[in-house]
Structure 1
Amino acid sequence: MTKAGYSLRQQLIVRTALLMTLVFVILSAGVWDYARRAADISFDRLLNSASLSILERVTVSNGQIDLDLPYAALSMLELAPSDKVFYEVIDHNRQHLTGHKNIPSPNDYRPHNEPEFYTANYRGEALSLVAQSKRLIAPEAHGWVTIKLGQTRLARQELADEIFYSAIATLLGILLLTLILVWLGVRRALEPLSTLSQKLKSHSATQHHNLEATPIHEIAPLVDAINSYQQQLINNLDTMKVFIADASHQIRSSLGGLQGQLDIALQTDDPHEMSTRLKKIKDQLQQLTRLANQLLAHALVTHRSDTQEPQIIDINILMQSVLTEVVRDHAHTDIEFSYHADEADCKLLGDNISLREAIKNLLDNAIKYGPPNNHIDIVLTHKTAAEFIIQIDDSGPGIPAYMRRQALQRFTRLSQKTTGSGLGLAIVETVVQAHNGILTLSTNARGGLTVTIQLPKSTAS
C-alpha cells in the first residue's frame, strides 16, 4: 500500500510553527508572572512610602498619641478612579487609635522596623496591604505604633495588564517575523531539490552522462545514488541489448534451419528421405527447446542476482537433490555418477534457485559433451574454514586452455560439431559471480573437463 504523499516544506514550516507556539505559550506564562510581580513591587513601594509618611506624622502630646494625617500620602495611592484606600493605626496593645477599624493584620505579626506586605479581604474588597511599625520614645508614652495601610488592586491589575499585553504584542510580532523568515529560509534551502527535480525530468535514464555534482553535503549522497543507479541501469540495458541481439540471432538461425528442413521434407516423396528430414527436424526442435530453456534460465539467474535477498542454503542438500533428479533422468544410459561430500557444515548465503540452475547446467554439459560411458565425479569439500569447493569431473573431450575464457561467453560453441546453445557455462559464471565465488576450468587426469567452483561459507549458525 502506497503511503500518502506530503510536502517537506509544509512539514518543516508546520513543525517550526508548532515549536514556536509552544515557546510563545511558555514565554507568555513567564511574561504574565513578571507583569504581576512588577506591578506588585511598584505599588508595594508606594504603600511603603505612604505608610512611612503617615508614621512620621505620629506624635505624643500630653501622654496622648496624635496623628496629623497627610492626605497627600493617601491620594497618591488612588491612581485608579475606583481604587479605595483603607488605613488603621493601632498601639502596642493593638488598640484602635484612628482610621478604619478591624483591618486584618498579618499572621503572627510582631511590631518591628521592617515593612511587611500581605493580602487580605476587607469589607468585600481584595486588598494589598502593608504593616509598618514605629517605636515611640517619649517619657509620657512608649511602645510601638503600627499602621496597616491597604489599597484595592485595580490600579496594579491595570499596570500588570498593560505590561503583559505590551510584551505579548512584541512577542507576536517577533513570532510572525520569525515564521516569515523560516518560510523564506526553508524555501531557499529546498531550492536545490527543486532544481534537481527539474534536472531529473529533463534527464533521460539512458543518457551516458551523470547528473552534475552538487556542493551541498546533504544532497550530494542523493545525486551520487541517482548516478550510481543510472549507471547500473545503463549497464543492465546494454547487457540486455547484447543478450537480446545474440538470442534473436540464435533463435532466427534455429528457426531458419528448421524451416529449411520442413521445405525439403514437403518437396520429397521418398519415404526414407522424409524420415531423415523428420529426424533432423526433431533434433533441431530439441536444440531450439534447449536454447529457449537456457535463455529463460539465463534471464532468471541474471534477474535474481540483482533482486533476491540471500538466504541460508545447505549446498550439500541442494546438490544431492539436483543429482538425484539428473541420475533418475539418465538411469537408462551407461553414464556413471559418483558424489562425495565432507560431513562438515556446508551452509552459505545465496539464492537456492540460481545455484540449483548452475549445478544442473554443469551436469547437463558434462552429460551432453561426454561419451556414452561417461563417468562424472562430483566432490564437495572444504578448502578453508571460510570457503568450500564444488568440483565436477567428466570424461569428455575437455576444453583447451586457450579457449577456456571464450567458453564462458554467451552463445559460444567451441566446435561446429557440437549442437549446444553456448549458454550453459555463461549461466554458471553469472551465478558464481553473484555469490562472490570463483569459477575455474581445467583438465583432469582422464583428459576431460574439471569445473571448480569456490564459494564463501555462511557465518550463520
Structure 2
Amino acid sequence: MSAGSWSLRARLLLLILCPLLVVGSALGFWRFQSAQSTAQELFDRGLLATALAIARDVTISEGDALSPRTRDLISDAGGGEVFYHVTGPGGYYVTGYAYPPSVGVRPSGDDLHYLVAEYRGEPVRVLRLTETTTLGNLTGETIVTVWQRVADRQRFAHALAWRAAAVITALLATLVVVVWFGVNIGLRPLANLRAAIERRSPDDLSRIQRAVPVEVSGIVSTLNRLLGQVENDIKAHQAFISDAAHQLRNPASGILSLAETMPAVTDPSERAAHEQKLIAAARKSARLAERLLSLERLRYSTATAQEAFDLSDCAAAACGDIASQALARDIEFTFERCREPLPVIADQTLVAEAIGNLVDNALTHGGSGLRMVRVSTRTDGAVAEVEVEDDGAGLPAGADAVVFRRFSQLDGGKGSGLGLSIVQEVARAHGGEAALRSRTGGATFVLSFPLARPGSPAAPAQSG
C-alpha cells in the first residue's frame, strides 16, 4: 500500500509515534549506559568503603581480626561477594584471602588504585589501598586489596538498566495507547461529517452546515463551493435540455406533418414545393442538432484538441467554406487578412465553426437589404481578433444583453438561436471574448483570442 493511500489516522499515528519511538529508544540506550556507569561508580565507592573499614579494623586490632560490622559490610555488598587481602609493614600477611589477584607492579605511596585483574580465571574489579600504619612495634605501608567479580557487578548493573528500560517501555506503551485514543477522538468530527454526507440523497446538493474544526473548515468551504457549482451546472444542463427539447420539437413536428401530407399531393409542381419545404425543414433540424452537439462538445472536451495555428489561416478556411452561400445571393463577400501572423493555441475546429457561425448569422439575419459581408483579421496588443461586419438591418437597442443567449431570436424565429451562443462559448473556453461592437447600420461582431507567447512550445513557427 502506497503512502498516498494511507488513512489520516495512520498518518497521524506514524508522524507522532515514530519520533516518540526514536526518542524513546535513544533515551533507553542512554539510560542503559548511564545505569551501568552509575552502578560501576557506586560499586567502586563500596569497594573503597570496604577497604577503609578493613584498614581501620586492622589498625585498631593490630591485625588480629575484623569487627562484626565490617564483616557484615563485606557480606552485604550490593555488587556481589567481596574478597580482601591485607599485608602489613614489611609485606607480611595480616588477614584475608591468602592469594590476591595478580596486579603487576606494586603501587607505592599513600594512594589507592582501581584496576581490572584476573582471579581464579574470572575478571575482577580490584581496589588496592596503601596507607602508612603502625602494627605493634612495626611502622610501614599497609596494603589493603579488595576485589569483586566483574560478572556479579555487571549482572547487578544490567538488572538496574533493564528496570529503567522496562519503565521507559511501559511509558511508551501508555503513550501509544493515549495517542491512539486521542487521534480517534480528534478525528471523530471528520467521521461524523462523512456519515452526514453519506446519509444525503444524490439529489441533495445543499451546503454543509455542520460545525467542524478549524483545520477542516477549508475543506468544507471548498466542498460547499463545489456543490454549488455542481448544482448550478445541473440546473443549467437541465434548462438546456428543456430548451433543446422544445426547439427540436417544432422542426420534428414540421417534418412529420410535411411527410404525412406528401402521399396526398399528386400535382407535380405542388409536390415539388412540398419536397423543398421538407428538405428545408430537415436541413434546419440537422443544423440545430449539429449545433446542440457542438455546445455539448464545448462543455466537456475543449482542452483535449488544442493546437497551435495561425488565426488568419483558420478564418480564411472558414470563409472559403461559406463563401458560396453569399455569392449565390449576389452579396459582396470579402476577406481581409492581417499582414502579420496571428499565432493562437486553441481547438482549430471549434474556432473555425465559431467564425462560420458569425458569417452565417450575418447572412441569416442581415435582412433583404444585406449587400456586403466583410471578414477581417487583425492584432490588438496581445490579442488576435476576427471581425465580421455586414451592412444589413442591424440590431435593436438592448440587443447586447440577449444576442449571445441560447435560443434567443430577435427577428421572430429565423435560425436556431444557438449560433452566437456557440461563438461566445468557444471564445470563453479559450480565454477569449465575443463582443457586439456595432448595432445600427448593420452589425459588427468581434471574436478575439490571446496571442500565443513567442516562447510557448506550442506556438506555430513564423516565417519571415
Report the TM-score range of the alignment, normalised by the length of the smaller protein. Answer: 0.7 to 0.9
Which AA in structure 2 matches 1:324?
A
Alignment of 1:182-197 (within 5 A): 182-197=179-194
- Describe the SS at the equivalent of 2:405: coil
Does residue 29 (structure 1) correspond to residue 29 (structure 2)? The answer is yes
Structure 1 equivalent of residue 247 of structure 2: 250
> Residue 373 of structure 2 contacts residue 388 of structure 2 at CA under 8 Å; is this kept in 1?
no
1:50 maps to 2:50: yes
Answer whether contact 1:55 1:147 (CA < 8 A) is retained: yes
Aligned match of 1:413: 409
CA distance in 2, matches of 1:90, 1:353: 113
Amino acid at match of 2:377: V
1:225-275 Cα offsets, whole Å, 9 max, x none, are 111111111111111111111100111100011111112212111111111
1:398-440 deviations in whole A, cap 9, x for unaligned?
A: 323332322211112222363x111011112223334444432
- Would you say 1:299 and 2:318 are equivalent positions? no
Q: How many residues align?
A: 446
1:128 aligns with 2:122: no
**Structure 1 208/168 Cα, relative in aligned 2: closer, same or farther at 3 Å?**
closer
Deviating more after overlay: 225-234 vs 39-48: 39-48
**8 Å contact 2:311–2:384 — kept in the other structure?**
no
Percent identity (aligned): 24
Q: Which residue of 2 aligns with 1:358?
A: 354
1:323 lines up with 2:316 in the alignment: yes
Give 1:376's aligned residue.
Answer: 374
| Pairwise CA distance, 1:376 | 2.2
CA contact (8 A) 1:392 1:451 kept: yes
* Structure 1 residues 11-410: aligned runs within 5 Å: 11-13=11-13, 16-57=16-57, 67-68=63-64, 70=66, 72=68, 73=70, 76-79=73-76, 83-89=80-86, 97=93, 99-101=97-99, 103-105=101-103, 110-111=107-108, 113-135=110-132, 144-153=141-150, 155-204=152-201, 206-207=203-204, 209-212=206-209, 214-304=211-301, 308=303, 314=308, 317-328=310-321, 330=323, 334=327, 336-341=333-338, 343=340, 346-347=343-344, 354-369=350-365, 374-382=372-380, 384=381, 386-410=382-406
Q: Distance in 1 between matches of 2:5 and 2:179?
A: 22
In structure 2, the CA distance between the partners of 1:417 and 1:85, relative to structure 1 (3 Å rule), is: closer
- Counterpart of 2:406, as a letter, is R
Query: d(CA) in 2 for partners of 1:353 and 1:74?
Result: 108
CA distance in 2, matches of 1:116, 1:264: 130
Unaligned runs of 5+ in 2: 456-464
How far is 1:7 from its partner? 3.5
Output the CA distance in 2 between the equivalents of 1:377 and 1:423. Answer: 21
Question: 1:197 deviation in Å?
Answer: 0.9
Q: Deviations over 1:346-374 (max 9, x none)?
A: 446x5555444433322333344458864
1:106-163 C-alpha deviation (Å, 9 max, x unpaired): 8x8854555333322222112122122224589x977654433211145434432442
Return the offset for 1:336.
3.0
CA RMSD in angstroms comes to 3.8
Q: Distance in 2 between matches of 1:293 and 1:204?
A: 35
What are the ranges of 5 or more consecutive residues in structure 1 without an aligned counterpart? 61-65
1:63 match: none
Superposed CA deviations along residues 170-192 of structure 1, whole A, max 9, x for unmatched, are: 33332232222212211111111
Amino acid of the structure 2 residue aligned with 1:390: V
Aligned partners of 2:118 and 2:124 also within 8 Å: yes
TM-score by length of 1: 0.82
